[in-house]
Amino acid sequence: MPRRHDPDRRQRIIDAALRVVAEKGIAGLSHRSVAAEADVPLGSTTYHFRTLDDLLVAALRQADEGFAAVIAAHPALADPRADLAGELARVLGEWLGGDRTGVELEYELYLAALRRPALRPVAAAWAEGVAERLARRTDPVTARALVALMDGICLQVLLTGAPYDEAYAREALARVVSAGR
């Protein structure tokens, strides 16, 4: 039987892994559950991703692209005349204001690095990438503090179900920005 040409199979497997984690959590992720979701043979998942950690690394990388795209879509963050704290608060509002499924998924994968060391470099790279972008407007220490504060705000909103308070976020972020001056 000739081998079927399927150049998008690896991507379909990653997309399926994200859907499985969104629906069942990390605990529901297995090669078998992903193969069923992607409608591919079980051997395809292990061919492209030898371990579940390999698959989770690919899924986290893809999920991380979501917030990076939100940040990149705001040119005002690079504008030295723009209010950095206000712009960051607005970005967080857009990120948390819509359907939170993607945000929850990203944080679930991000926090999985606590128990899965293979994910730690990806989680660290995400934080470093956002900090590098923010360091164009401030110093590196302040940029890292802003990332930590934004993470904390997002986690509080996600874990408590409270509505996002943009005025609070703007004030807290402004305090970090002004302390860095």
Of the candidates 68, 69, 85, 65, which has an alpha carbon nearest to the alpha carbon of residue 77?
85
CA separation for the pair 98, 102 (Å, rounded): 9
Question: Is residue 7 pLDDT above 60, yes or no?
Answer: yes
Alpha-carbon span 125 to 130, nearest angstrom: 9
Q: Per-residue confidence at 1, pLDDT binned at 50, 70, 90?
A: very low
The model's pLDDT over 40-97, given as tens digits with 9 standing for 90+, comes to 999 999 999 999 999 999 998 888 887 777 777 887 787 888 999 999 999 999 888 8
Q: What is the arithmetic mean of pLDDT over 25-30? A: 93
Task: Tell me the CATH number for domain 1-50.
Answer: 1.10.10.60
Q: What is the pLDDT of residues 98-143, one digit of tens each?
A: 778 888 888 888 899 999 999 999 989 988 988 998 998 999 999 9
Query: What is the value of pTM for the model shown?
Result: 0.84
- In the block, which residue shows the tokens 């409270």? 162
DSSP string of the chain, one letter each residue: -PPPP-TTHHHHHHHHHHHHHHHH-GGG--HHHHHHHHTS-HHHHHHH-SSHHHHHHHHHHHHHHHHHHHHHT-GGGG-TTS-HHHHHHHHHHHHHHS-THHHHHHHHHHHGGGT-GGGHHHHHHHHHHHHHHHTTTS-HHHHHHHHHHHHHHHHHHHHH-PPP-HHHHHHHHHHHHHHT-
How many angstroms separate the CA atoms of 50 and 43, rounded? 10
Query: Contact, 45 vs 68, CB < 8 A?
Result: no
Q: Which CATH class is domain 63-179?
A: mainly alpha
Q: Say yes or no to pLDDT of 174 above 90.
A: yes
What are the residue ranges spanned by the domains of the chain? 1-50, 63-179
